[in-house]
C-alpha cells in the first residue's frame, strides 16, 4: 500500500469505526499487540521503557506494555503528563494498565527523565502521534533529548516524536529511532526523515480489507 498522509489515515480510522462498527478500542488493541510482537523480536534481554505522552499514541503504549508483560518482558511505563489528562481510548488503556499493576511512573523534570531511562535496554516512543505538528516544547522536548542520549535501542510508534507525519520536517528536535513501527501504512513524511526513522515496520490495526479498498476507490 502506498504511503498515507495524516488526513488519509484519519479517514481510514473513521471508516472502520463509523461505517463498519469496529470500535476504536479494538483498533488500538490490535495496533498495540502487533507492535509488541515486533518489539519483543527486536529488543534484547533487559528492561524496556515506554515513554507515554497523551492522545492515542500514549494509549498504544499502554496496550504495548500489557502485551510485553504477557511475553515475560521487563517493562516500565513513564508518563510525562498527568494521566488524568488522558481521554477516550487512551484513558481506558491507562486504567487497564494501572489495574494490571504495571509499573507506571509520572515524571516531569529532566533529572527524573534521565533517572527513569538510565537502566533501559530499549526505549519506546509513544509521546506524540501522527497528529502532532510544530516544534517540541517543555517536557516533550526534554523527554526526546533524554531518550536520545541513552545508549539503548530506540523504537518509535507510528511516527518518531518531532517528525512531521506529512512532510518529514523536524522543526526543533526529534526522537532518533533505530526502528519505527507504523500503523496501516507508511506515512508520507517518514521517507524524508530517514536519519530519525530507521527501519520501518508496518502493522495492521484490524480494519477490514474492504475499508482500505473503499477508501482507495474514494480517493
Q: What is the pLDDT of residue 211?
A: 80
Instruction: Provide the residue ranges of all domains of the chain, joining segments of one domain with +.
Output: 6-218
Tens-level pLDDT at each residue, the chain (219 residues): 788 999 999 999 999 999 999 999 999 999 999 999 999 999 989 999 999 998 999 999 999 999 999 999 999 999 999 999 999 999 999 999 999 999 999 998 999 999 999 999 999 999 999 988 889 999 999 999 999 999 999 999 999 999 999 999 998 899 999 999 999 999 999 999 999 999 999 999 998 888 877 656 555
The answer to whether the CB of 46 falls within 8 A of the CB of 74 is yes
Exposure of 125 by Cβ count < 10 A (0-12 exposed, 13-18 middle, 19+ buried)?
Answer: buried
pLDDT of residue 59: 98
- The model's pTM: 0.95
- pLDDT, residue 2, reads 83
DSSP-derived secondary structure letter, 171: S
Q: Which CATH class is domain 6-218?
A: alpha beta
Query: How many Å apart are CA 27 and CA 33, to the nearest integer?
Result: 10
Q: CB count, 10 Å around CB of 21?
A: 9
**What is residue 21's predicted lDDT score, i.e. its pLDDT?**
94
Per-residue model confidence (pLDDT) at position 213: 76
The Cα–Cα gap between 7 and 187 comes to 11
Amino acid at each position: 500500500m502506498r504511503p498515507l498522509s495524516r488526513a488519509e489515515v484519519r479517514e481510514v480510522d473513521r471508516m472502520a469505526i463509523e461505517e463498519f462498527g469496529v470500535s476504536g478500542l479494538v483498533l488500538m488493541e490490535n495496533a498495540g499487540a502487533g507492535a509488541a510482537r515486533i518489539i519483543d523480536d527486536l529488543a534484547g534481554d533487559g528492561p524496556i521503557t515506554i515513554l507515554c505522552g497523551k492522545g492515542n499514541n500514549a494509549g498504544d503504549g499502554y496496550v504495548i506494555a500489557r502485551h510485553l508483560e504477557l511475553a515475560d518482558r521487563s517493562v516500565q511505563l513513564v508518563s510525562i503528563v498527568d494521566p488524568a489528562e488522558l481521554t477516550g481510548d487512551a484513558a481506558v488503556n491507562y486504567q487497564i494498565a494501572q489495574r494490571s499493576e504495571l509499573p507506571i511512573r509520572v515524571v516531569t523534570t529532566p533529572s527524573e527523565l534521565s533517572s527513569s531511562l538510565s537502566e533501559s535496554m530499549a526505549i519506546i516512543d509513544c509521546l506524540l502521534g501522527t497528529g502532532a505538528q510544530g516544534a517540541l516544547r517543555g517536557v516533550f522536548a526534554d523527554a526526546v533529548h533524554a531518550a536520545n542520549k541513552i545508549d539503548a535501542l530506540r523504537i518509535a510508534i507510528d511516527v518518531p516524536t518531532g517528525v512531521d507525519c506529512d512532510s518529514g520536517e523536524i522543526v526543533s528536535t526529534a526522537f532518533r529511532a533505530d526502528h519505527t513501527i507504523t500503523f496501516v501504512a507508511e506515512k508520507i513524511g517518514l521517507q524524508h526523515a530517514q536519519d530519525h526513522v530507521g527501519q520501518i515496520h508496518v502493522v495492521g490495526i484490524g480494519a477490514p480489507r474492504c475499508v482500505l479498498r473503499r477508501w482507495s476507490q474514494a480517493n
